[in-house]
Amino acid sequence: MSNIFKKIESLLPKALIADRHIIGREISRIKQSKAKTPPDEKINKRLILLEKKLQRSIKKRSWRKINRPEPIYNDALPILSKKNDIIDSISNNPVVIISGETGSGKTTQIPKFCLAAGCGIDGKIGCTQPRRIAAMTVSKRIAEEFGEALGNSVGYKIRFKDKTSPNAFIKIMTDGILLAETQNDPYLNEYDTIIVDEAHERSLNIDFILGILKTLLKKRKDLKVVITSATIDTEKFSRAFDHAPVIEVSGRMYPVDVRYMPMDSKFENDDDQTHVDMAVHAVDRLFKKTHSGDMLVFMPTEQDIRETCELLKEKIDQNATILPLFARLSSSEQSRVFSQSMGRKIIVATNIAETSITIPGIKYVIDTGLARISRYTPRSRTTSLPVTAISKSSADQRKGRCGRVENGVCIRLYSEEDFENRPLFTSPEILRANLAEVILRMISLKLGDISNFPFIDKPALKSIQDGFDLLNELDAIV
């Protein structure tokens, strides 16, 4: 019997990661039970079944190695200048941090660099996106670059929709989906590589994922992690992941003319002027003075978007297609912004359009400089979603939505002095969230004690205690 144990253990490294861990744990259990009771026919049968399962897994892994798609690159993208550096870093390090400017091509090319580095054979290459629309459009683009239909080598998974084949090599998903998967697969054995894109957004989901990955790296020596963003605080992330290497990539951008228009003469004597009025006026004037180029207008709320669209429909002639874009829209409605239209397109969006997705044809960006950003007030113990000024990095992300294929114009509906006085980054959600909600969510996700969880930015102990005090007052925890 010792021979079959040795045989199975020698074959384990040739299997898929998921099966490797499952079969390895089962072998350990059998060895422990064997030490207590003499081997019997049941143990022999279990070992035979395990060996068969292992052989099937080895065949699947061999198939993946032979059929791994050959990466096809777009040489026009700036990130290709760092291709060899990135591939070498992924091959030689457990964690790599890539800071790529808007337009560099990082979102679509890095999964292919991972393939070239030998990833995607032992398990899938998983890539998280903050939003559904980004997961769908990015997966479709990568599949097109492979010359395949979506759902073969490349797929996506969002809530209520899974377009991923069991044989997929690259799986694009929302960060919420990956978090949910940790419930049934706490070691994330489905993947041999995890890419966390748009990490600068620092939502709770992203911080939870980064903390989970930091813990997993100690338990899974076979896991690769790539953290990417356009405006990341690279030093902070590098320190958090044991001084992981940082690669910076410049973006391919056509010149963008930034114009500050805090107050138009039309509104100088109008005390009721709103950011909606200013944006509508800016679009109307641009539309009349120019003859080509689509426009992207950033608004803070869904209500603002609807109001702006209605006002624009009254002012703009029939040669324009006016489209809203916000998170609550269905996937099919969101996808309309990428479709061809007869006239010029005017897209009015929340910060859903700020990162990850590239809407073709955008020449003009009108930025109100505002967004809904959640904030917890400890004194009243309430969480609100006030409309507040965005950070410099968010404003630059918005500017980067134009200037992709030709010279662009970004009109900021606030002053240059206002811009210069804004913080560089938006503070992480963990530092402005109700920690009672965070603690409950961590309990639900089985992430352990909040005080010991490896957040990139740890919340203050007093805030944690206040969270527990509130939950105890509500009898929400035992």
Q: What is the pLDDT of residue 40?
A: 67
94 Cβ contact partners less than 8 Å away, ≥ 6 residues apart: 217, 221, 223, 224, 225, 244
Tokens 């700020």 belong to 354
d(CA 445, CA 441): 6
Domain with CATH 3.40.50.300 in the chain: 78-249, 256-374+387-416
Kindly tell me if the per-residue pLDDT of 43 is higher than 60. Answer: yes
Residue 52 in tokens: 């068969």
The CA R_g of the chain, rounded to the nearest whole Å, is 25
Angle among Cα 232, 398, 203 to the nearest 5 degrees reads 45
Give per-residue pLDDT as tens, 284-315. 999 999 988 999 999 999 999 999 999 999 98
Superfamily designation of domain 78-249: P-loop containing nucleotide triphosphate hydrolases (3.40.50.300)
Burial (CB count within 10 angstroms: exposed 0-12, middle 13-18, buried 19+), residue 28 = exposed
What band does 4 get if pLDDT is binned at 50, 70 and 90?
confident
**130: burial class by Cβ within 10 Å (0-12, 13-18, 19+)?**
buried
**Where in the chain are all domains bearing CATH 1.10.10?**
434-473
Q: pLDDT-based confidence at 442, cuts 50/70/90?
A: very high
The CA distances from residue 280 to 241, 272, 353, 400, in Å, are 45, 14, 18, 21
**Highest mean pLDDT: which range of 2-11, 46-55, 335-344, 360-369:** 360-369
pLDDT one-digit tens code per residue, 183-193: 999 999 999 99
Interval 234-239 mean pLDDT = 88
For the domain bounded by 434-473, which CATH number is listed?
1.10.10
Q: Which residue has the higher pLDDT, 101 or 226?
A: 226
The pTM is what? 0.92
* Candidate CATH numbers 3.30.420.40, 3.10.450.50, 3.30.559.10, 3.40.50.300; the one for domain 256-374+387-416: 3.40.50.300
* Tokens linked to 441: 């969510």
Convert the pLDDT of each residue in 195-219 to its tens digit.
999 998 899 999 999 999 999 999 9
* Edge-to-edge strands, sheet with 246-249: 161-162, 154-158, 170-174, 124-129, 191-196, 224-229, 95-100, 246-249
386-413 per-position pLDDT tens digit:
999 999 989 999 998 998 888 999 999 9
Could you give the percent of the chain with pLDDT greater than 90? 66
For residue 419, the 8-state DSSP code is H
Average pLDDT over residues 237-244: 94
Residue 243 has pLDDT above 50, yes or no: yes
Residue with tokens 């744990």: 25
- State the Cα angle at 83 between 78 and 89, rounded to 5°: 130
